[in-house]
Amino acid sequence: MPIVVLTALAVAGRLVFAPVPAIKPVVAIVVMGGLYFWREEGFMIGALAMLISNVFFGQGPWTPWQMFAMGLVGYLAGTMGGHGWLARRWSVAAFGAAMALLYGFILDTWTIVGFVSDANAVSVLTTYAAGLVNNVASAMGTAAFLAPIACSWPRVFGRIKERYLT
């Protein structure tokens, strides 16, 4: 059940923040889900959030790339959380910002694969440079979303895990 609820929350967050370019709570929600509900669940939350939200934003050949990238974010969060490396709020926010940059890098790679017909060093670097402003804004937004929820959500997630998952 937590996977379904967090996926729905991520989809709703993407829909609500659709008018605001680059700033969405999706990465923050996926990071928190992976961090507290293990890596496989984090992958599912991320991949399903992108698949379901693209019902509203449009499916296309980019959807598997989005699903993989956001699933990877959840998986890595679960891996880091399983080792106890993200115990402090600032480390969760910094990790979330790094994951937003990783997500943007993977999707910029999709742009090169899907749309650049003559891929050379200049076109590849230009594509990554064009996406940099959007990716940095996304990273800052993710850190801003994670700062408050990294304090309050762990208590709720702890109760959910204790009550339903043990």
Q: Which two tokens stand for residue 112?
A: 């090169």
Residue-wise pLDDT tens digits, 87-115: 677 788 889 999 999 999 999 999 999 88
DSSP classification of residue 1: -
What one-character-per-residue DSSP string does 103-128 give? Answer: HHHHHHHHHHHHH-SS--HHHHHHHH
More confident residue, 18 or 161: 18
> Mean pLDDT, to the nearest integer, of 134-151?
90
The structural domains of the chain, with segments of one domain joined by +, span 2-164
Q: Are 99 and 86 in contact (CB under 8 A)?
A: no
Mean pLDDT of the chain: 88
Residue-wise pLDDT tens digits, 39-93: 888 999 999 999 999 999 989 899 999 999 999 999 999 998 767 677 677 788 8
Specify the pLDDT at position 51. Answer: 95
DSSP classification of residue 40: H
In CATH, what is the architecture of 2-164?
Answer: Orthogonal Bundle (1.10)
pLDDT band at 142 (very low <50, low <70, confident <90, very high): very high
Specify the pLDDT at position 98. Answer: 95
Q: Does 165 have pLDDT greater than 90?
A: no
Closest among 46, 20, 22, 21 to 32, alpha carbons compared: 46
Query: Which residues 6+ apart lie within 8 Å of 92 measured at CB?
Result: 31, 32, 35, 86, 146, 150
Specify the pLDDT at position 166. Answer: 62
What is the number of residues in the chain?
Answer: 166
The rounded percent of the chain whose pLDDT value lies above 70 is 96
